[in-house]
């Protein structure tokens, strides 16, 4: 699965144990792919002394703050970007 800038995506709500680089507050949340940052050895494997290969695509993913926090008090335009590895993303389906 490869994503393009502008694609709507959802962060996989996985409870994968151990060292992960996807913060809990974005799990299950929908946003958009802002850009492809590059490909890197997976830090989730490197944390355990493995090579992390093959390299995984890393995307800058944008979220509306009001989608992340239902009590967000700032303007609706405020947003947040997190850097998310491809295996944590799926195409957005259904409603938020």
Partner 1 sequence: MSDHPHEETGSGRTTSPYAARIRAIEALLLEKGVLTEPEVQDSISYMEARSPANGAKLVARAWVNPEFKELLLSDGKVAASELGMAPEHPAEFIVVDNTPEVHNLIVCTLCSCYPRAILGRPPDWYKSFEYRSRAVREPRTVMREFGFEPPEGAEVVVHDSTADVRYMVLPMRPPDTEDLSEKELAELVTRDSLVGVNVPRSPSRTSPG
**Would you tell me which residues interact with partner 1 (CB under 8 A)?**
21-23, 25, 37-38, 40, 43, 58, 60, 65, 68-69, 72-75, 77-85
Our CB check for partner 1 shows the closer of 17 and 94 to be 17
Cβ at position 87, least distance to partner 1 in Å: 12
β-pairing, 8-11 vs 30-40, is antiparallel
CA distances from 67 to 29, 51, 72, 81 (A): 7, 35, 9, 12
Name the residue nearer to partner 1 (CB basis): 23 or 94: 23
The dihedrals phi and psi of 49, each to the nearest 5 degrees, come to 85, 5
How near is the Cβ of 6 to partner 1 at its closest, in Å? Answer: 17
């Amino acid at each position: 699965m490869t994503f393009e800038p502008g694609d709507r995506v959802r962060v996989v709500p996985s409870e994968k144990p151990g060292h992960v680089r996807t913060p809990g507050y974005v799990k299950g949340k929908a946003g958009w792919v802002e850009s492809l940052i590059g490909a890197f050895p997976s830090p989730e494997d490197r944390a355990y002394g493995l090579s992390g290969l093959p390299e995984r695509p890393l995307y800058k993913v944008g979220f509306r703050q009001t989608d992340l926090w239902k009590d967000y008090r700032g303007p609706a335009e405020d947003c947040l970007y997190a850097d998310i590895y491809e295996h944590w993303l799926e195409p957005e389906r259904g409603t938020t």
